[in-house]
Amino acid sequence: MVKRLMLLIATLLLSLPAWAHKPSDSYLSLSVQNDRVEGQWDIALRDLNDAIGLDADGNGELTWGEVRGKHSEISAYALSRLTLTANQQTCPAQIVEHLIDRHTDGAYAVLRFRADCSKAVEQLVVEYHLLFDIDAQHKGLLRLTQGGQTSTAIFSQESPSREFSVAGRSYRHEIIQFVHEGTWHIWLGFDHVLFLLALLLPAVMVRRDNRWQAAGEFSAVCWNVLSIVTAFTVAHSLTLSLAALDIIRLPSRLVESTIAASVVLAGLGNLYPTMMSRRWMIAFGFGLIHGFGFAAVLTDLGLPQDSLLV
């Protein structure tokens, strides 16, 4: 039995990189300058490969030559899924440069483009439809610079359009949207949910005589649950603040692998309770790492610190 358990643990640990992956995101930066909108769009090569097929020889590895040979298709695909409308008139966009950049989770195609509008931009509507047809969980993260101010937005399949006024910025809307997306990030992030469930199970149930039984008094159970959830939430938020202040950064591969490992360790803690006697401390410690998974997205977006700390 012990040998089988050790073999299972070894298999799980070896497969951590396969478990750990960053959700599909693209990073769109727009700068409004009078009657022109200049932009940069970073799209993961793995996503473009899924959408239009970049790997010409099918060997599972992308080369610069393969990407360069698909420049026209990449441009057509991307621009067909982005619409900029200023003052109720469409601003036609054209790609001016193709580059490659590396983010925390791999290589990205960088599309630099410009869109000319009929007159000075006062109201700008951005419609985003990239990858939603093949990945319903895909998100587009926008940074819009206008008149010395920076606005942010997150596009999703449920919310593919945003309207901006060059004259002002809505902090309230940004806060509401990031709180909403952050909540969904935790709920849809099965690694976070599994980690919390594995820690919370012994708070409400204990294993005695080879079966699960109620943990004990209601007040004690509530305190255990509250301490674990609070510790995880505080740690998750603290990591985001540290990333916003650019104090700590960790490699994405290390973060995602550690998150996967935390799920395994939390599960083992249910089999061997003595391993994890103070679960709120475990929740706080690993919560810091889980938070880096979300912070990496905002770091790649390159938001100003006031947007991250708002």
Domain ranges of the chain: 2-19+189-299, 25-168
| pLDDT, greater one: 236 or 188 | 236
pTM of the model: 0.64
Look at residue 93 in the predicted model and tell me its pLDDT.
97
Look at residue 206 in the predicted model and tell me its pLDDT.
67
pLDDT bracket for residue 126 (50, 70, 90): very high
Per-residue pLDDT reduced to its tens digit, 59-105: 989 999 999 999 999 999 999 999 999 988 999 999 999 999 988 77
What is the share, in percent, of the chain residues with pLDDT greater than 90? 37
Tell me the average pLDDT across 276-304. Answer: 73
Look at residue 17 in the predicted model and tell me its pLDDT.
42
Give the CA angle between residues 103, 66, 47 to the nearest 5°. Answer: 45
Asked if residues 130 and 78 have their Cβ atoms less than 8 Å apart, the reply is: yes
Given a cut of 90, whether residue 287 has pLDDT beyond it is no
Distance CA 82, CA 125 (A): 10
Distance CA 45, CA 52 (A): 10
Look at residue 182 in the predicted model and tell me its pLDDT.
59
Token pair listed for 214: 């109620």
Q: Is the dihedral of CA 157, 253, 112, 149 positive or negative?
A: positive
**Residue-averaged pLDDT of the chain:** 79
Per-residue pLDDT reduced to its tens digit, 160-200: 999 988 755 555 655 665 565 556 555 556 666 777 777 77
Distance CA 69, CA 60 (A): 16
